[in-house]
A = this chain, B = another copy of it.
Amino acid sequence: MDYVTVKYLSKKPKLKNPILIEGLPGIGNVGKLAVEHLIDSINAIKFAELYSKDFPPQVFINTDGTIELVNNEFYYWKAKKKNQRDLILLTGDYQGLSSHGQYELVGTILDIAQDLGVKEMYTLGGYGLGHEIQNPKVLCATTDKHLVKTMKKYGAIFKKNEPGGGIVGASGLLLGLGKLRGFEGICFMGETPGYLVDPKSAKAVLKILMKITNININLVELEKKAKEIEHIAHQLKEMEHGSREKSDELGYIG
């Protein structure tokens, strides 16, 4: 097994000027949630799995009792209308564990993308604020200046010096290494508290993506998940509040 191994499940899909959309685990799992939802919504077809020595030595257990080695997965979708474009979608269980591994993995992903004719990428992630946010905005960064203008039209936000620490991980590296190879790329970062998985932020990201791709994505499922998480967050807050009140009472007694 090489450092990164790609296993095609069928023969390579023939795609016309496809866009790569990446969403791997990260802050608030925003990117992964968005791409997984997109895959489900448009019934994209899995065509390749990617294994790596830089993933943990781990299998997950399916509901039927069988195991699955941790991996990243490629899906494709063919355009249905004239104003749409073919898509390649990337999600997975993990990003690489080490710096070195991240470079190797992203290098391989770019090889595959290049091989399938990709010239343009959208990478999706979360931008952790550390506090709650009612209406998450979507920050943006691009490989090229002309894309900044275009993305502003779609409602993406560019803030000077934000994120101050740049973009760490696959979403950033795909753009960074891709740019060196001549890819155009856009990174969307949904604002998120960053404490829990954040379907609300994923929805905000998908809304911009809908405008760009002219694909109608059913957001009902994501909205349902968002409500569940809101409920959990509310409960956690009450528990915290409750225990604080309790200790206050004890303070009065003592």
Contacts and interface: CB of A to CB of B under 8 A. Distances in A.
B1 A65 contact: no
Contacts of A187: 67
B58 A168 contact: yes
A69 B180 CA distance: 9
Contacts of A180: 7, 51, 69
A173 B67 CA distance: 10
Interface residues of A, number: 55
A13 interface: no
A158 B56 CA distance: 23
Chain A, interface SS category: mixed
B179 A67 contact: yes
Interface in A93-150: 96-97, 99-100, 102-104, 106-107, 140-145, 148
Nearest to A102: B57
Interface in A57-81: 57-61, 63-70
A15 interface: no
Contacts of A141: 59, 61, 65-67
B167 A55 contact: no
Contacts of A64: 145, 148
A54 interface: yes
A169 interface: yes
Contact of A61 (B7, B53, B166): B166
Given A53-B100, A53-B103, A160-B63, A68 B142 contact: no
Task: List the 4 shortest-distance A-B pairs measured between CB atoms, nearest first.
Answer: A69-B176, A57-B102, A53-B103, A65-B148
13 contacts: A53-B104, A57-B106, A57-B170, A57-B172, A58-B169, A58-B172, A59-B167, A61-B141, A61-B161, A69-B173, A69-B177, A70-B176, A97-B99
